[in-house]
Amino acid sequence: MSKRYNTPPYPPPSLAFEVKGRVSPRRRDAAFIPCVQRIFVITGTDTGVGKTVFTRLLAAHLHTLGARVAALKPVCSGGRDDARQLRRAIGGVLPLGVINPWFFRAPLTPLLAARAEGRRLELSEVVAQIRRVAAAKHEPEFVLVEGAGGLLSPLGEGFSTRELVVALRAETILVAANRLGAINHVRLTLAALPRGFAARTRIVLMNPARPDHVSRTNAGLIEELTGAGRTMTFPHLPAGSWTGGGLRGQARRCVADALAAIVAG
C-alpha cells in the first residue's frame, strides 16, 4: 500500500526558518529590492537545458544585491546536487530539507521515482510548503522555485510544473538550450501554459560553448513569433568562470547585466 505524506519526508527544522546573519543595509540595492514579494518559477523545455545554472546565478545575483532570497527545488529525483547548488548560491541561509523537501532516489521522472518507493505526492502539499517558506519569519523578497525536467514532466500525482505555476500565480522563466530545435521547443512549451501566464513568460536561451549561426539567430525569430522584449540570450560560462566567490571577469559583468534586466522586467 502506498504511503501518503502530508508533510515532507525530510521535515525542515521549523518552517519559519532562521536566516544566518544579517545583510548590511549598505549592501542592499534599492533599485532591485521589490516592494512586494515576487515568486518566480524557473522551468525548461527539457531536462539538462540549464535551469539549475540559471537559477543558481539569479539567486546569487539577488543575494549579492542584499535581497532576501529563498531558492527552492521542491522535488528532486536521482540526486540532490541541484538543491545543494542553490543552497550555496544563497549563502546557506536555508537548510537543504527546506530547499528540497521531497527527494526520490531513482533517476526517473519524480512521479515514477516516488511510486517506486511506494510514496505519493500531491500538488497541494508542494504549494503549501512553498507558501510556508514565503511567509516565514524573515519573509524573502524573492522566492525562486526550480521545476524538475520540462514544464509538463510529472512531479507528482496529477500535476507538473505547469500546475505549480498556476497555483502559485508565479512569474515564469522558461530556459532553453540555444541550439537547433529551440524555436519549436519554446513555442510548444509556451502553448502548454495558460494564455495569461504564457504572455508574461520570460525566455532565456543558454548559449553553447561555440555559438553558431543557429544560436545567433534563434532569439530574433523567437522574439518575432512570441513578442518583443521577452527573450534573452545567456552567455556560456566555461568552468574557469567560477571561483569560490562566484563569477569573475567578463562572465560576471555579462551575467549581472542579463539578470538585472530579467529582475527589472
pLDDT at 241: 63
Q: What is the pTM of this model?
A: 0.85
Grid coordinates representing 242 are 567560477
What phi and psi values does residue 37 have, to the nearest 5 degrees? Answer: -65, 140
Segments in the chain forming alpha helices (H): 51-64, 81-89, 96-99, 110-116, 123-134, 161-168, 182-192, 195-200, 213-226, 249-264
Which one of the listed residues 20, 51, 73, 137 is annotated catalytic? Answer: 73
Grid coordinates representing 246 are 562566484
The average pLDDT across 69-91 equals: 96
Tell me, which fold does domain 34-264 have in CATH?
Rossmann fold (3.40.50)
Residue 89 near residue 62 (C-beta atoms within 8 A):
no
Q: How far apart are alpha carbons 74 and 123 in whole angstroms? A: 11
DSSP string, 148-185: SSSTTSEEETTEEHHHHHHHHT-EEEEEEESSTTHHHH
Of 250, 242, 265, residue with least CA distance to 60: 242
Q: Name beta bridge partners: 120.
A: 4
Residues 127-181 pLDDT 10s = 999 999 999 988 899 999 999 999 999 999 999 999 999 999 999 999 999 999 9
What phi and psi values does residue 156 have, to the nearest 5 degrees? Answer: -160, -160
Of 101, 75, 70, 115, residue with least CA distance to 7: 101
Q: Is 137 a catalytic residue?
A: no
Residues 212-225 pLDDT 10s = 999 999 999 999 99
pLDDT at 257: 76
Q: How far apart are alpha carbons 115 and 14 in whole angstroms? A: 28
Of 175, 72, 84, residue with least CA distance to 128: 72
Residue count (the chain): 265
